[in-house]
Amino acid sequence: MALAIAGAILCLTTKDVEGVVMLLLRKLALTIVILCVCSFAQTPAPAHRPTSTPYAGDPTIFDNPGRADRLEINAVMDTLGIIPGKSVADIGAGSGFFTMLAARRVGDRGVVYAVDINPKAIQYINARLKQEDLHNVQTILGKPNDPLVPANVDVVFLLKTYHEIAEPVALFRNLRHSLAKDAKIGVIDRNGNGTDHGVDRDVIIREMKEAGYKLLQQQDYVKDGMNYFLIFAAA
């Protein structure tokens, strides 16, 4: 039997040998592809970037005297073009600290959307609005991946909030349909690792680019080496 097989092999032409080799190579390639696909399927999806646990304590801490001056909020609003008649979305509104300042800036012809995913924050802001007799603010209970902001917003602002967003790319992709032409997105945050109530500016710039935005400007009104102010627009 062995002699018969050997004889058959010797009878193969060069063309036959090439055909066998090509067949073996195809089978090997197919095996490699199957192994790679199986390996990829078994690889766990990458974890979300580390984020900070949203603050759930006394909200009045954000309205401490002098905070607006330290963060130079008036200069920030000037840079973002927050003037009478504009529409502004305050994402991660918290205590309403920035919401109240922006509401007075845009006046009765403008509107501010105070967005938060915490129902208690929304309740707190609604109570403040009654107390401070402001009628140009609409509160919105947003979703972690969608702020649910109405269309044609001129300015979006996140004050020390970005580091708490678990799905920033999805959130800002969903935000795009709400933006007016030439809308600006402002982000104030501080350098950190995500879990320490801060996130490095390069991380934000990279994630915003992935979501479809371009960096327009960087400012450092608070020159402490930690806080930064970034301005984006839809790409």
Query: Per residue of the chain (235 residues), what is the pLDDT tens digit?
Result: 444 444 444 444 544 545 544 554 465 444 443 444 343 333 333 446 777 676 666 777 777 788 899 999 999 999 999 999 999 999 999 999 999 999 999 999 999 999 999 999 999 999 999 999 999 999 999 999 999 999 999 999 999 999 999 899 999 999 999 999 999 999 999 988 767 778 999 999 999 999 999 999 998 877 777 899 999 999 9
H/E run at residue 9: helix 2-10
Burial of residue 192 (CB within 10 Å: 0-12, 13-18, 19+) is: middle
Q: Dihedrals φ, ψ of 3, to 5°?
A: -65, -35
H-state helical runs in 49-160: 67-70, 73-80, 97-106, 119-132
H/E run at residue 180: strand 179-190
In angstroms, the CA 29 to CA 24 distance is 9
In angstroms, the CA 100 to CA 60 distance is 13
Closest CA to 204 of 172, 162, 174: 162
Structure tokens at 77: 């609003």
In angstroms, the CA 137 to CA 38 distance is 53
With beta carbons less than 8 A apart as the criterion, state whether 63 and 94 touch.
Answer: no
